[in-house]
């Protein structure tokens, strides 16, 4: 895979930070919890601990893409089973273990199992103490409260949520060549998205807005779009008039891996054949 980087990127949730408390959006008084530091400990929802020892709820969102608790225990998909309903646990962190890699900051506050089409999910929407968390197929086309989370800094529910940042205008470059920019030469529906030399003075054709809703917007109302919604490697990209919650237009920008993934679908923005020449369609 050929990665991209965003010169002024943001994520709706905090990342690469310690002392983070993860709450289901339906109840800010509940926190993601691992009661012990033993391998196989279920990850549950419990009342946030606002004073005393809160290490069971104190997560580090690492630059490597892991969610770490108790110093060396990672949020882990049990047995790596890629199926809706698989319960979550903690396990000793292992470098580049696919079962432990997460993308924090998807559309609507989702936490995506990196490279998969499954998201952290509040099991059956039950926010009672002891509910074991699961993964479930991501739902980019709808707003699913069970897959929406907020992150706060400091002890439990007494902390103040990190506000979503303001959307920023930004340039998107392939990692192999920072002098090239993601480009759409016109604002017409169906315009191919290509790689071109960056225009140093700035250009509407290369100035993207990374929105809090998960879209990548150009020309004010044109969104990066998967042509015909074809979920297949090699599908070319275009811009199309932005449509609220159109699954073809929802993206997750990762600060950790440099990837830009099609939210919930298991595909990433890719530099076609690794060719960074002017006009290469991505």
Q: Domains of the chain by range and CATH?
A: 4-10+165-281 (2.80.10.50), 17-158 (2.80.10.50)
Residue 256 pLDDT:
57
pLDDT attached to residue 61: 85
Q: What is the pTM of this model?
A: 0.57
Can you give the pLDDT at residue 14? 37
What does the pLDDT read at residue 158? 39
Closest by CA position to 235, among listed 266, 196, 199: 266
> How many C-beta neighbours within 10 Å does residue 95 have?
7
Q: Is the CA virtual torsion 137, 142, 146, 147 positive or negative?
A: positive
Q: Give residue for tokens 């006009």.
A: 279
Q: What is the pLDDT of residue 148?
A: 87
Terminal C-alpha separation, the chain: 12
Q: What are phi and psi of 17, to 5 degrees?
A: -145, 150
Q: What are phi and psi of 79, to 5 degrees?
A: 60, 15
Distance CA 173, CA 177 (A): 7
- pLDDT at 118 (0 to 100): 87
Distance CA 10, CA 15 (A): 10
What integer pLDDT is reported at residue 106 of this predicted model?
53
Within the chain, which residues score under 70 in pLDDT?
A: 1-17, 105-108, 140-143, 154-169, 201-202, 212-213, 254-258
Cα separation of 264 and 223, whole Å?
17
Model pLDDT for residues 230-260, shown as the tens digit of each residue? 999 999 999 999 887 788 988 887 655 667 8
Question: Tokens 């926190």 appear where?
Answer: 31
Q: What is the dihedral of CA 119, 125, 127, 133, to 10 degrees?
A: -30
Q: Kindly give, in sequence order, each residue whose CB lies less than 8 Å from that of residue 33, ignoring residues fewer than 6 positions away.
A: 43, 44, 45, 46, 56, 57
> What's the Rg (C-alpha) of the chain?
19
Contact predicate 208/218, CB 8 Å: yes
Tell me how many degrees the CA angle 109-230-168 measures, rounded to the nearest 5: 40
């Amino acid at each position: 895979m050929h990665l991209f980087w965003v010169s002024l990127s943001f994520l709706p949730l905090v990342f690469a930070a310690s002392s983070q408390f993860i709450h289901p959006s339906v109840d800010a008084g509940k926190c993601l919890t691992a009661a012990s530091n033993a391998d196989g400990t279920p990850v549950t929802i419990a009342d946030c601990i606002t004073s005393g020892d809160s290490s069971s709820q104190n997560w580090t969102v690492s630059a490597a893409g892991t969610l770490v608790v108790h110093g060396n225990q990672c949020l882990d998909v049990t047995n790596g089973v890629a199926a809706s309903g698989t319960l979550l646990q903690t396990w000793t962190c292992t470098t580049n273990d696919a079962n432990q890699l997460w993308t924090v900051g998807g559309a609507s506050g989702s936490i995506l199992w990196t490279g998969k089409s499954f998201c952290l999910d509040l099991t059956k929407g039950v926010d009672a103490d002891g509910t074991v968390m699961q993964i479930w197929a991501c739902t980019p086309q709808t707003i699913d409260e069970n897959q929406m989370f907020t992150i706060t800094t400091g002890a439990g529910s007494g902390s103040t949520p990190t506000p979503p940042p303001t959307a920023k205008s930004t340039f998107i470059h392939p990692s192999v060549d920072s002098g090239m920019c993601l480009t759409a030469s016109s604002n017409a529906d169906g315009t191919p998205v290509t790689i071109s030399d960056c225009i140093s003075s700035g250009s509407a054709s290369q100035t993207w807005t990374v929105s809090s809703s998960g879209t990548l917007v150009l020309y004010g109302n044109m969104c990066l779009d998967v042509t015909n919604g074809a979920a297949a490697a090699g599908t070319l990209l275009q811009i199309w008039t932005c449509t609220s919650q159109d699954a073809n237009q929802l993206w997750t920008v990762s600060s950790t891996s440099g990837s830009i993934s099609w939210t919930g679908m298991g595909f990433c923005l890719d530099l076609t054949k690794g060719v960074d020449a002017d006009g290469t369609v991505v």
